[in-house]
Amino acid sequence: MDQIRNASRMTPALLDELRQFSTCVTASAIETFGVRLCNAGFADSRIRCQFKELPAVVGYAATARIRSANPPMDSRGYFYYDRADWWSQILTIPAPRIIVIEDLDDPAGLGAFVGAVHANILRALGCVALVTNGSVRDIPDIRPTGFQVFAANVAVSHAYAHVFDFGSPVRVGGLKISPGELVQGDLHGVQTIPPEVADRVPAKARDILKRRKRLIDLCQSDDFSLEKLRQVMKHEEETKV
């Protein structure tokens, strides 16, 4: 799996650096490398951050697909917490991990697979966040754990929520995510970070913040004028690397 092999390029220090940047700054940094279209690589507004006060999270995707409208069709019966096989597979993904669950019901989100219990199980397995196009529940109980949640909805019940597949590519909010892909999320939303540039993104992000600061400082200065703004913009364009 290419994404998992490329994870070795990201040292703990580089991952720590990535956590310091908002998804917006990271997205701008990724754009400078020209490795994907500017309208790709991020989930759309259907996927909403549930805990906007928490800092950005960065981790490698551990994927699964669920249904909740109908019971699972197997002989062992329905027991929604009993997924030791899936939990073992999660541990094959490098830490830190972000769980990405695609709900294939139509419409998605009748039942919430992750609530207080599953959030704590996943957190104990080295997961820092959940991303799903479905629902979550027990929001007040999850918040104190620091486990971040990105979801399309909240729900009352788990209904018949069950994992029927894991370890395959999934799609949430229009974003395709494969196992092992590097994912970042914060109050703005969720995006993937291309492995071929991931180790260079922090340096580019720092440069973008410096350039932003020069422009913002001018706009907030008593000496602001359109002419000075044009000069600064021209200088930033000429010195852009």
Measuring CA to CA, which residue among 135, 96, 75 is closest to residue 16?
Answer: 96
Sign of the CA dihedral with 152 first, then 194, 119, and 187 last: negative
Question: Which of 8-17, 38-47, 122-131, 200-209 is predicted least confidently?
Answer: 8-17
Q: Name the token pair of 61.
A: 């995707």
Mean pLDDT computed over every residue of the chain: 92
Give the tens place of pLDDT for each residue, 193-225: 999 999 999 999 999 999 999 999 999 999 999
Contact 128, 18 (CB under 8 A): no
Give me the pLDDT at residue 75, please: 47
Q: Name the token pair of 160.
A: 């018949």
DSSP letter for each residue of 140-179: HHHGGGT-EEEESEE-S--TT-EEEEESS-EEETTEEE-T
Question: Which CATH architecture best describes the domain 2-198?
Answer: 3-Layer(bba) Sandwich (3.50)
Cis peptide before 107 (omega within 30 of 0): yes
Q: Model-level pTM greater than 0.85?
A: yes
Contact 64, 163 (CB under 8 A): yes
The total of other beta-carbon atoms located within 10 Å of residue 53's CB is 7
Give me the pLDDT at residue 9, please: 72
pLDDT grade, residue 127 (50/70/90)?
A: very high
Percent of the chain with pLDDT over 70: 92
Q: Provide the residue ranges of all domains of the chain, joining segments of one domain with +.
A: 2-198, 202-239
Give the tens place of pLDDT for each residue, 158-196: 998 889 899 999 999 999 999 999 999 999 999 999 999
Give the tens place of pLDDT for each residue, 64-96: 999 988 877 664 544 556 678 899 999 999 999
More confident: 238 or 69: 69
Give me the pLDDT at residue 115, please: 96
Give me the pLDDT at residue 71, please: 79
Q: Name the token pair of 205.
A: 């992000």
